[in-house]
Amino acid sequence: MSDIAVVDLKRKAKKATSLRRKTMSTPEGKSVRVVSIDANSKTFLDDLTKAFEINVRKARQENKRLFGSADGVRKSTTRK
Residue 12 lies in a domain: no
Residue 30 has pLDDT above 80, yes or no: yes
Q: Please give the backbone phi and psi of residue 20, each rounded to the nearest 5 degrees, phi first.
A: -120, 130
The pTM (predicted TM-score) of the whole model is 0.63
Angstrom CA distances, 54 to 40, 65, 80, stand at 20, 17, 38
Residue 23 lies in a domain: no
Residue 10: per-residue pLDDT: 80
Residue 6 lies in a domain: no
Residue 46: per-residue pLDDT: 92
Residue 52 lies in a domain: yes
Task: Note the pLDDT tens digit of each residue in 39-65.
Answer: 998 999 999 999 999 999 998 998 888
DSSP designation for 77: S
Structurally, the chain folds into a number of domains equal to 1
Q: Which domain range does residue 49 map to? A: 41-71
Is residue 80 very low, low, confident or very high in pLDDT (cuts 50, 70, 90)?
A: low
**Rounded average pLDDT over 13-35:** 88
Residue spans of alpha helices (H) in 17-69: 44-67
Residue 20 lies in a domain: no
Residues in CB range of 14: below 8 A, 6 or more apart: none
